[in-house]
Structure 1
């Protein structure tokens, strides 16, 4: 196993897997998606040019993996689980993260988030929980080939959308500062 990949999976894996759980709403689907993400991370190393942080790069890859899992669910197809060299580390990260995520308070917050549109939920998690910057979120959403100008424009759109989501949550539930 490439030592850098193992380090990235151990360092960012719990955070990413937790995000996949909140995005997909299913331990099984998130576990499958996380395994695929680990394989995608390995395959993408040659394309990673340092334009963004490794964390942002991983969220971009994870978002694409989650989208594939959603599409597979919609088409009632199973997403194959990767059985490559990273499956052991991915399994270890999944189990550790699942133990951490299983609490009553986190379940209540998760239930509130599940009432949001999936794109709004994703935006909320990336900004509030993961503390990504607006350009990083735009890159996660739009992908690696996006121009700097398009990232700047989309970051502004995301900021406005985030404000609408906050107002919606405040009005309904009195949450989000």
Structure 2
């Protein structure tokens, strides 16, 4: 009985001592700040203030004119059509081109009306220049498949590298 009592008494005491040892590795300031025992004050140089609200130069508003037209308001019929079919709102200004569309059409028209004979000259492209760099035109020779296969198998049976020897070619027909 004495043994169980002493074990039950020392177990919580040992846990507290272990926690104290672990917490002793932390600096006292960090622990007290973590548990909220010490307040962290803001730096007076990093605090910013907002500018005070300012009043507009004139606080008098003009009364609306009851006879003035209001372009943003639509008739009740038009509002109902837009609710039922949203495409109606998109088609409202369909016939009137925007300034950007007008400018693009003008530029395209000017470009189409210019004389472009110099652009129609046939020129060998970059790929043609790279592929046919020797003569500037495609070669009339082609690889003879059967003879090439026979040459490669012969090289392999002799233990020679497959790229040894000339590649057999034939004329294109």
TM-score, structure 1 normalization: 0.16
Q: Which has the higher helix share?
A: 1
Q: Name the structure, 1 or 2, with higher relative contact order (CA <8 Å, separation 6+).
A: 1
Bigger Rg over Cα: 2
